[in-house]
């Protein structure tokens, strides 16, 4: 059986040298290995190919039969590691809270235990008949959040 630690040890220096970070490693009981990486800038297809070659050179197919997939974190996938929050500071995200509510907002800050979101909503303003758009900046504990992912705006 192939272990995650083995994979991490094989690729950690390449990740560091190329401004990449590990999002996830999944290894099924059939040794199907899925490695997901991310970058503070852009993940290039060559990065995925390089990591694939590094892993293949570090594992022996005569000892362990396996399949290997290396990919970047998709824009439609929820964040899995804190560094993804850091990468998206200043960008629009969609947050789903554990209570079931959703909020599209600008991720304005990310700390190990909480995130700051900036958004606007219509609220009743004292002395006015119509509700007005109010800008809100609020911290949320990561404990309150079920998932966060990039918001893809087609406007």
User: Fold match between 4-72 and 82-150?
Assistant: no
Which pLDDT score, from 0 to 100, does residue 143 have?
A: 96
C-alpha 30/C-alpha 64 separation (Å) is: 10
Domain 82-150 sits in CATH at 2.30.30.100
Domain definitions of the chain by residue range: 4-72, 82-150
C-alpha 63/C-alpha 78 separation (Å) is: 35
Residue 14 has pLDDT above 90, yes or no: yes
C-alpha 85/C-alpha 83 separation (Å) is: 5
Domain 4-72 sits in CATH at 3.30.300.70
Longest C-alpha distance within the chain, in Å? 77
Using one digit for the tens of pLDDT, what is the confidence trace for 77-135? Answer: 999 999 999 999 999 999 999 999 999 999 999 999 999 999 998 888 787 788 888 89
**CB-based contact 23:40 (threshold 8 Å):** no
């Amino acid at each position: 059986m192939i272990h995650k630690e083995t994979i991490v040890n094989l690729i950690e220096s390449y990740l560091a040298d190329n401004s990449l970070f590990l999002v996830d490693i999944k290894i099924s009981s059939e040794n199907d290995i899925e490695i997901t990486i991310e970058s503070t800038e852009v993940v290039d297809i060559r990065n995925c190919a390089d990591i694939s070659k590094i892993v293949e050179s570090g594992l022996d197919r005569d000892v362990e039969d396996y399949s290997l997939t290396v990919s970047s974190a998709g824009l439609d996938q929820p964040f899995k590691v804190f560094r993804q929050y850091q990468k998206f500071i200043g960008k629009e995200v969609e947050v789903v809270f554990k209570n079931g509510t959703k909020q599209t907002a600008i991720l304005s800050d990310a700390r190990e235990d909480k995130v700051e979101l900036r958004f606007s909503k219509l609220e009743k303003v004292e002395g006015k008949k119509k509700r007005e758009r109010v800008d809100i900046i609020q911290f949320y504990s990561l404990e309150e959040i079920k998932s966060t992912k990039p918001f893809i705006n087609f406007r």
